[in-house]
A = this chain, B = another copy of it.
Amino acid sequence: MAHLGSSVEYALHCLLWLVDPANGQPSSRDLAELQGVSPSFLAKIFPKLEKAGIVRATEGLRGGYQLARPPEAISVLDVVDAVEGRKPLFDCQEVRGRCAIFGGEPPAWSTAGVCGIHAVMLRAERRMRGELARSSLADLAATVDAKTPPAFPARVQGWFGTRLGKRVEAKAAAAKGARPSAGSPRRG
């Protein structure tokens, strides 16, 4: 199994759609349907992004998600940590202290400092995290923009706009249906 799972992948793809404010404030269901991924899966990811201060949720019919800070200030590492919860590369079990020669009482020298093996792993982890911290959501958006045809952003805005339009219409229709007619009996 890969270290960074599909939650990270889906989170980053979703956030990319939020970079352009012209896309409005999509719901996690809008984003799931746009990308062909499971809505219930995305519904579990967004509260984590919100808790980490990466997105902000707004209530109401026109509400949904927007970035809580500029895309330049959201690193890939921020998103990884928000979604995966600071998963270590290596989980040292302190094998060194269990040596049979110590008879269950490891001398101080044997467990002093960080285990040499763990130290190498921590350096590798720092390198990996450093690289993830170097790329921002704005950088990712720029690489996507570079290959997107000029007409595509308008199609995306249209797609989100149509979704919102249908939601507004459905709500209006439901409100109309629920309104009591003149001759209907009233309670109380």
User: For residues 93 through 147 of chain A, which have their beta carbon under 8 Å from a beta carbon of chain B?
Assistant: 93, 95-96, 98-101, 109-110, 112-113, 116-117, 119-121, 123-125, 127-132, 135, 140, 143-144, 147
Q: Which residues of B contact A128 (CB under 8 A)?
A: 89, 124-125, 127-128
Q: Which residues of B contact A125 (CB under 8 A)?
A: 128
Q: Does A19 sit at the interface, judged by CB under 8 A?
A: no
Q: Which residues of B contact A99 (CB under 8 A)?
A: 34-36
Output the residue of A121, A132, A149, A156 with the most chain B CB within 10 A: A121
Q: Does A43 sit at the interface, judged by CB under 8 A?
A: no
Q: Which residues of B contact A123 (CB under 8 A)?
A: 131, 135
A121 CB to nearest B CB, Å: 7
Give the size category of A's interface with B.
35 or more
Specify the chain B residue showing the minimal Cβ separation from A129: B124
**Option from B5, B109, B140 in Cβ contact (under 8 Å) with A149:** B109
**Option from B13, B33, B100 in Cβ contact (under 8 Å) with A95:** B13
Q: Does A92 sit at the interface, judged by CB under 8 A?
A: yes
Interface of chain A, main secondary structure: helix
CB distance A156 to B101 under 8 Å?
A: yes
Q: Which residues of B contact A98 (CB under 8 A)?
A: 35-37
Q: Does A182 sit at the interface, judged by CB under 8 A?
A: no
CB distance B88 to A2 under 8 Å?
A: yes
CB distance B140 to A131 under 8 Å?
A: no
Q: List residues of chain A with CB under 8 Å of any chain B CB.
A: 1-6, 8-10, 12-13, 33-37, 76, 87-93, 95-96, 98-101, 109-110, 112-113, 116-117, 119-121, 123-125, 127-132, 135, 140, 143-144, 147-149, 152, 155-156, 159
